[in-house]
Structure 1
Amino acid sequence: MPMSTTTSLDRRRFLAVSAGTALAATGLSACAGSVSDGSSGSGSAGKTTLTVMTVQNEWDKAALKAAEEALGMNINVIISDATKLNAMLAAKNPPDVVRGFGATETAYFATRGLMTDLDPYFAKSSVLKPSGLDPVNDVWRFDGKKQGAGPRYGMAKDYSQDSMFWYRTDMFEAAKLDAPSATEAISCDEWLDLGKKLVKRRLGKVKVYGLNATGLGVFVQLMGMTASAGGSLFAEDLATVDFSSPEALKALRWYLDYARADIGPSVVNPNPDGWDGPTYGANRMAMSCNGYWFGGQINSDAKVAEVSRFAPAPQLGKRISPCFGATGFWIPRDAKNKDASWKFFEWYFGGKPAQDRAASGWGIPTLTSLRSKMPQTNAFQKQAFQVQEQELPHFSVLSFTPYAQQSALEGVLNKVLPGAVKGGTSAGKVADTLNSQMNKQLAQGKELVG
Structure 2
Amino acid sequence: MKKRTISLVANLMLVASIALSGCASGNGSNSDKQSNTGSNENASTTDNAAAEVVTIRTTLPPGELSEDQIKEFESQYPNINVELVPADETKLMAMIAAGSAPDVIRISGVQELPTYVTRGLALNLDEYFQKSELIKEDDLLPVANVFKYKGSWYGLMKDWSPDQTLYINKKIFEAAGVPIPDPKTPLTYSELLDITQKLTKIENGKVIIEGMDGDTLFSMTNVQMQLQQIGKSLWSDDMKKANINNDDVKNVLNRINQFVQAKSVYSPINPAPNWTGGTFIDGQLAIAQFGYWYTGILRSDSKTKDHLDDYMMLPAPVVDGGTRYSPVTGGTGAIILKQSEHPDEAFTFLEWYMAGKPADDRAKSGWGVPIFKSKMSLVPQQTNFDKQTFEVLNDEIQNGQTDTVLEFNPYLNASAVNGLIDKLITPIYFGKDTPENALPELEKQIQALIEEGMDIAGVE
- 1:60 to 1:157, Cα distance in 2 relative to 1, 3 A: closer
Residues 134 and 155 of structure 1: CA distance in aligned 2, closer, same or farther (over 3 Å): same
Larger Rg: 2
1:55/1:80 contact within 8 Å kept: no
Aligned-partner Cα distance in 2 for 1:58–1:321? 25
After the TM superposition, which of the residue ranges 243-252 and 284-293 deviates more from structure 2? 243-252
- Per the alignment, residue 56 of structure 1 pairs with 62
Measure the CA separation in 1 of the matches of 2:218 and 2:428. Answer: 18
Report the Cα offset of residue 216 of structure 1: 9.8
Q: Does 1:325 align with 2:340?
A: no
The residue that corresponds to 2:283 in the other structure is 283
Asked if residue 334 in structure 1 is aligned to residue 339 in structure 2, the reply is: yes
Range with greater deviation from structure 2 (368-377 or 48-57): 48-57
Pick from 99, 106, 112 the counterpart of residue 105 of structure 1.
112
Q: In structure 2, what is the Cα distance between the partners aligned to 1:50 and 1:302? A: 37
C-alpha separation between the residues in 2 aligned to 1:212 and 1:312?
Answer: 16
Query: 2:217, 2:267 within 8 Å by CA — same for their partners in 1?
Result: no
Q: Does 1:305 find its partner at 2:308? A: yes
Structure 1 residues 221 and 441 mapped into 2: Cα distance closer, same or farther (>3 Å)? same
In the TM superposition, what whole-angstrom CA distance separates every residue of 1:53-95 from its partner, at most 9, and x where no partner exists? Answer: 2223233433322221123221121113223322332334432
SS in 1 for 2:411: coil
2:19 counterpart residue number: none
Partner in structure 2 of residue 206 of structure 1: 207
The 10-residue stretch of structure 1 (319-328 or 49-58) with the greater mean CA deviation from structure 2: 49-58
CA contact (8 A) 2:159 2:371 kept: yes
Within-5 A mapping of 1:58-77: 58-72=64-78, 73-77=80-84
User: Residues 182 and 204 (structure 1 numbering): CA distance in 2 closer, same or farther, change over 3 Å?
Assistant: same
Q: 1:382 aligns with which of 379, 387, 392?
A: 387
How far has the Cα of 1:426 moved from its partner? 4.1
Larger mean Cα displacement after TM superposition, 371-380 or 51-60 = 51-60
Q: Distance in 1 between matches of 2:299 and 2:350?
A: 29
Distance 1:204 1:304 in 2: 31
1:220 matched to 2:221? The reply is yes
2:188 is aligned to: 187
Q: Within 1, Cα distance between the matches of 2:218 and 2:244?
A: 16
TM-score w.r.t. structure 1 length?
0.85
What do the CA deviations read for 1:183-206 (whole angstroms, capped 9, x no partner)?
A: 111111111111111001111121
The structure, 1 or 2, with the larger RCO (C-alpha pairs under 8 Å, 6+ apart) is 2
The count of aligned residue pairs is: 410
Cα deviation for residue 116 of structure 1 reads: 0.7
Is 1:444 matched with 2:445?
Answer: no
Among residues 83, 86, 89, which one is paired with 2:93 in the alignment?
A: 86
Is it true that 1:411 corresponds to 2:411 in the alignment?
no
Aligned 8 A contact 1:40 1:50 in 2: no
Of 353-362 and 402-411, the range deviating more from structure 2:
402-411
Per the TM alignment, residue 409 of structure 1 is displaced from its structure 2 partner at its CA by: 1.0
1:178 deviates by 1.5
Q: Deviations over 1:395-431 (max 9, x none)?
A: 1212211222211111111112221112174433332
CA distance in 1, matches of 2:280, 2:307: 9
Q: Is the 8 A contact 1:162 1:216 kept in 2?
A: no
SS in 2 for 1:49: strand
In structure 2, the CA distance between the partners of 1:170 and 1:212, relative to structure 1 (3 Å rule), is same
Asked if structure 1 preserves the Cα contact closer than 8 Å seen for 2:224 and 2:233, the reply is yes
Q: Which residue of 2 aligns with 1:4?
A: 2
Please name the residue that 1:10 is paired with.
Answer: none
Deviation at 1:102, TM superposition (A): 0.6
Partners of 2:58 and 2:432 in 1: CA distance? 47
Instruction: Give the 3-state SS of the residue equivalent to 2:292 in structure 1.
Output: coil
Name the residue aligned to 2:11.
none
Please tell me whether residue 159 in structure 1 is matched to residue 160 in structure 2.
yes
Output the CA distance in 1 between the equivalents of 2:110 and 2:312.
Answer: 26
Aligned amino acid, residue 286 of structure 1 = A
Counterpart mapping for 1:357-368 below 5 A? 357-368=362-373
1:428/1:304 CA distance change after superposition, 3 Å? farther
CA 1:60–1:351: 2 relative to 1, 3 Å:
closer
**Structure 2 spans left out of the alignment, 5+ residues:** 5-26, 31-49
Instruction: Give 1:357 shift.
Output: 0.3
Deviations 1:201-248 (A, max 9, x none): 111121211012417983211111111122111222223322233332
How far did residue 287 of structure 1 move? 0.4
Q: Contact (CA 8 Å) 1:298, 1:304: kept in 2 or not?
A: no
Asked if 1:270 corresponds to 2:271, the answer is: yes
Q: Percent of aligned pairs with the same residue?
A: 32
Q: Please state whether the residue corresponding to 2:85 is helix, strand or coil.
A: strand
**Contact map agreement 1:214 1:289 (CA 8 A) in 2:** yes
Q: 1:250 to 1:80 in 2, by over 3 A?
A: same
Take 1:258 and 1:299, find their aligned partners in 2: how far apart are those partners?
30
Matched AA of 1:179: I
CA RMSD of aligned residues (A): 2.4
Matches within 5 A, 1:413-432: 413-423=421-431, 425-432=433-440
Which residue pairs with 1:9 in the alignment?
none
Q: Determine if contact 2:221/2:406 at 8 Å carries over to the other structure.
A: no
Alpha-carbon separation, structure 1, partners of 2:289 and 2:192: 11
TM normalised by structure 2 equals: 0.84
Gaps of 5+ in 1: 7-37, 144-149
The 2-side partners of 1:232 and 1:334 are apart by 34
Alignment correspondent of 1:400: 408
Query: Which residue of structure 2 aligns with residue 434 of structure 1?
Result: 442
After superposition, the C-alpha distances for 1:271-326 in whole angstroms (9 at most, x for unaligned) are: 230x2221001001000111111111112222452211000111011111110111
- State whether residues 200 and 206 of structure 1, in contact with CA within 8 Å, keep that contact through their aligned partners in structure 2: yes
- CA distance in structure 2 between the partners assigned to 1:204 and 1:384 by the alignment: 35
State the shift of 1:169 in Å: 0.7
Partner of 1:87, secondary structure, is helix
Matching residue of 2:295 = 295
Structure 1 window deviating more from structure 2 (420-429 vs 166-175): it is 420-429
Is residue 351 of structure 2 the alignment partner of residue 350 of structure 1?
no
CA contact (8 A) 2:217 2:256 kept: no
